[in-house]
Amino acid sequence: MAEWPKLLTLARQGKLDLLEAALRDGDATKQRCDRTGDTLLHMAARHGHRHLLVLLLETLGMDVEVANGDYKRPLHEAASMGHGETPLMMACTKQNLEVIRDLVEHGANPLLKNKDGWNCFHIASREGHLEVLQYLLAVSPSSWDTESSIRRTPLHTAAMHGCFDAVELLLERCQYKPDSRDSCGVTPFMDAIQNGHVNIARLLLEKHQACPTAADALGAQPLHRAAITAQDGAIQFLVSELDVDVNVKATALQLTALHYAAKSCWFGSWWIRSWSPCQQLAEQKKPHVV
C-alpha cells in the first residue's frame, strides 16, 4: 500500500484511478492523519470529489460517521466547503424512497438548490425515479417549478437523459410551458432530438404541443442539433414523419444540417449518403469533400 501522505494527496486531488490502485494492496480505510484526525473520506468530502466518495463509501465501506480532530464528520466538511449538495439531494440520486422520506420528515428542505441551481426534484428528474418524483410533488407541490442557473427545467433534464416515464409524469402533473427555453434557447424537444430519444420527442409533440422547427439562440433547429450528434433515427423522424425541410438554414449562420454534419465528420449518416450530391461524391470515392 502507498504511504499515507501520498494517499491523502490523491484524495485531495480527486485522482480516482490512482487512489483505487493504491488501496488495492492494503487497508487504509481506518487510518487517520496524525495531526488533524482526517480520514480519506474527510479529504474527499472537503474537496467535493463525489466520485471518490462513491469509491470510499460504497466500494470500501468506510464509516461516514467518523469524526476528525475538530469533531467534524465528512458531511460537515462537504457542507462547510460550499459544495452545495445536501444529504437529501444525494439521496435523490438513488432510488431509495425510505431514506428520502426519513430526511424530509426530519426537516430536510427539498426546495434548497445546489451550486448549479438544481433542487431535489431536478436531480430526481435526471435519474428518472418515478416514486421519488411523486413523493416530492406530494410533500412539496411547487418543487417542479424551478430552473437551474442556466434556466434549464427538470423537463429539459428528463428529456435529455431519455427518462420517458419521468417526462410523461412531468407533462401530466406539472405546468411547464410548451417549448420553454434555457439560456441558450434550447427546448426540451431539442434536448430529446439531439440525444436520439425519438419516443420522448414524439411524446412532447403529442402531449405538449412542442414545435419541431423552433430555433435556439444561434438559429439552429432540432434538425441541425441532431445532425451535430449524428442521430440518424431522430433525423429520419423529423424529415420523413414531420416533413421538416432538410435544407433549412440556421438563421444566424446560414448553415444547413448537412453543414453541421460535415463539420462533425458524420459521413456515415444515412441521410448524408442518400442525398444525391453526397451520393455522387461517395461513388467517386471523395467523401472528404463532404
Residue 37 burial by Cβ neighbours in a 10 Å radius (0-12, 13-18, 19+):
middle
* CA-closest candidate to residue 74, choices 105, 106, 52: 52
Same domain, 12 and 110: no
Contact status, residue 46 vs residue 11, Cβ threshold 8 Å? no
Nearest alpha-carbon partner for 212 in 229, 194, 228, 230: 194
Contact (CB, 8 A) for 144 and 137: yes
* C-alpha cell of residue 117: 441551481
Q: Could you tell me which residue, 274 or 73, shows the higher pLDDT?
A: 73
Q: What CATH number has the domain bearing residue 233?
A: 1.25.40.20
pLDDT by residue (tens digit) across 15-37? 888 888 888 766 666 677 767 88
Predicted local confidence at residue 285, as pLDDT: 42
pLDDT digits (tens, 9 = 90+) for 53-108: 888 888 888 888 888 887 777 777 666 565 567 888 988 988 889 989 999 998 99
Greater confidence (283 vs 92) lies with 92
Average pLDDT over residues 177-198: 97
Q: What is the pLDDT of residue 1?
A: 45
Whether residues 36 and 121 share a domain: the answer is no
Average pLDDT of the chain is 84
Instruction: Please give the share of the chain, as a percent, with pLDDT higher than 90.
Output: 48
**What is the residue range of 27's domain?**
1-83
Residue 265 CA from chain centroid, whole number: 25
Please state the domain count of the chain.
3
Tell me, yes or no, whether 70 and 92 share the same domain: no
Q: Same domain for 29 and 19?
A: yes
Q: Is residue 131 part of a domain?
A: yes
Instruction: Please give the average per-residue pLDDT across 243-257, as a whole number.
Output: 87
Task: Write out pLDDT tens, residues 123-163.
Answer: 999 999 999 999 999 999 999 999 999 999 999 999 999 99
159 found inside a domain: yes
Task: Establish if 202 belongs to a structural domain.
Answer: no
pTM, to two decimals: 0.68
